[in-house]
Structure 1
Amino acid sequence: MGFRDFVIFNQAMLSKQGWRLLTDPNSLCTRVGLVSPLMHIPEDATVQFLMEEGGKEWNHDLVKYAFDEETANEILQVPISRHGGGMISLLGHMTREICAPGKMKINLWRAAHDCLPTGFQLRRRHIEARDGCAFCNRDDRIEHVFLMCPFSDSVWKEIKQVYNIKLGRGDLANVRQWIFDFLCRGSAIQNTVLAVTFWHIWEARNNARNNVETLHPRRVVQKIVAYVEMIMQHCGPGNVSRPAERISLPSWVPPPAGVFLINIDAAVFQAERQMGVGVVIRDQHGNCLLAANTRFMGITDPETAEACAIRHALWLAKEEGFHNVIVACDCLSVIQKLNSPGRDRSKIGCLVEDIKKLGVEFISVSIIHVSRCSNVAAHTLARCSEPSVCNVYHNETPDCIREMLLSDAQ
């Protein structure tokens, strides 16, 4: 386009947006982009102003005092690196391996990141929108639209019978994590069905909301089945891309001699806006050398909680003198980020960098993915954690996991 200096061009574009924010307070850009604090914050203040001394964690009281409850909770969800650095950016494409049209993969990706224009999201951005779901008039959050609404539930009941799909909605804590777990365990055809179903549910919702027509759920199912058959006819079963196979251990497997296995898990307590961490360290004989659990405030995102749990477990292992370790976790998305050689640009990127830097301080460390059934002890400890309490058991097995560890050792 003939730009001679991109730096000056970018500065000009930024100035234009700044001028628009100042001169047009009613514009969509201003209404979406600005957050007004409830207290006076110095003009020269940086993000450090909202952190504890040392800059390693948020000042919870100050954040809650300075912003409204919804904004404060979103700020406290942002993880902070203990080594400095780390930025929030968009997650990588989770759906690139699905055999489906691009529009359907994009729709699924946007659903995973909760950036579809549901009524709830529009109201959050101070944009006028109809209250309630188009089908049942309940709060139309993203998980309700695609999974919990009676209309979508009727669609899924028939889809599950046709394609032998298990949704696992009982474990739903976060749509993004739910979609990722589904793609990891689903076959290629099932993942295609997921993308096609999400698209048609969203299309039916929009039509009903705009008073175009309201299709019967069975009609939507017929459209989904026909579309999937068309995709499979053109792609063929052999041409459908499959997601990477999971490397999972079916049950607890002892580590090599001289190496210690650290099982970790996190539990999210939405009501208290806290997360719990459970850590179990065992030797090759299955002896419990150390067990611990504790809680952290302000974190309710499952993926962030799992990354925080791994960081805490490595820090604890280093402090207790375990230098040759294998860390076992049941959150595949975090494991893939940690084992990736490049810099992670997701919202947990700073935690990933922290964990990698901690790993350098060990003689040997590896991080593996295990199935949930072989990580029950750590999960139980995390669920049993108490607010403001850090329990550490040396050469002692907590009563709540005693039978589990005995069963693993057999």
Structure 2
Amino acid sequence: MGFRDTRNFNLAMLGKQGWRLLMFPDSLCARVLKGRYYNDSSFLTTTRKKHASHTWRAILAGREVLTQGLIRRIGNGETTLIWRDRWLPNHFSGQPLTPSEGQLVSRVGELLSENGQWDEALIRQIFFPVDAEAILRTPVRPNHEDLWAWEPEKFSMYSVKSAYRLLDTRRINESNLQAESVSENTDWNKLWKLKVPPKVKVFWWRVINEFLPTRQILHKKHIEPIANCDLCGADSESIRHVLMECSVAKSFWEYMKSTTGAKLPMLHPDSWAYDLISCKGVAKQDQAVFLIGMYALWMQRNRRKHGEPSRPIKFAVQWAVDMAFDLQQAGSAPLSVKPQGTPLWQKPEAGWLKCNTDGAFYDR
């Protein structure tokens, strides 16, 4: 049994008071507070007044917890706002990703057909595919009004325990993000010191953070219907697959080995991207060749994806090797700088006349 975070526990308790105001708006307490603090708005949208009581300020602090887990359960959709309320369970922030600018619909009820079910044609016309799928799998009860529910609980009722767990999870995630931020800065410092072009450094930062739009990543985000590699037919087109495991990548690295002797080492599936910039199992002189080579493979993949002709393997390898060599030479070649001295006047040679002049340019 561990000690509880006192502040989060208090906030979870205060969230319970906000839940009661939502669920029992006709109670004496709710009517008194509404008349005093939010007569012209709602509990969820009102702002803190300048001379609010300590009790009301505490309830508003609990409201911050409440809004993290509140979600609308759709009935007839008449009181739920599409672009402002949380109403899509297990879908990002609970709201559509589709931009609201220029949209003609504002309430969820406008997305229902005459029989009270989702108007699939209209929904697919308005929303991104990932939003449309989330909407169509959301249950509706057309003969009931929309209700507020507490998403972390199975039966939709607020509990201090689940609210505390929600806050504790957020605290742990924030701590992990801070640790990852420190690690990311360290990784970026290593990247910055590499003798590769800036575009390759940015590319590798995206590799480490999985920001490349491979089919596997797009499928996980419900953007691509399948995750397989359309070139070799593998089940999952991951970043590692494109750069190391695909048939094109294997041919690339085999040709690289035969022409330069640089052999791509066996790297751990989970840490391979970090290992390449940390020189773990990688010779220092081969590091730039590997990173530039993988950048070339990614560009080859994109050309094929967009129907453009890709370079033959030997030309792609030669391009990567030449670029790495040029950068290495540029970094190691000494700079010849002539010493700057104070110019002295010298008389002309015999038989010559010398006229000293000066000039200036004034840019208006």
Report the TM-score range of the alignment, normalised by the length of the smaller protein: 0.3 to 0.5
**Greater relative contact order, per chain length (Cα 8 Å cut-off, separation 6+):** 1
| TM-score normalised per structure 2 | 0.43
TM-score (norm 1): 0.39
Please identify which structure carries the higher strand content. Answer: 1
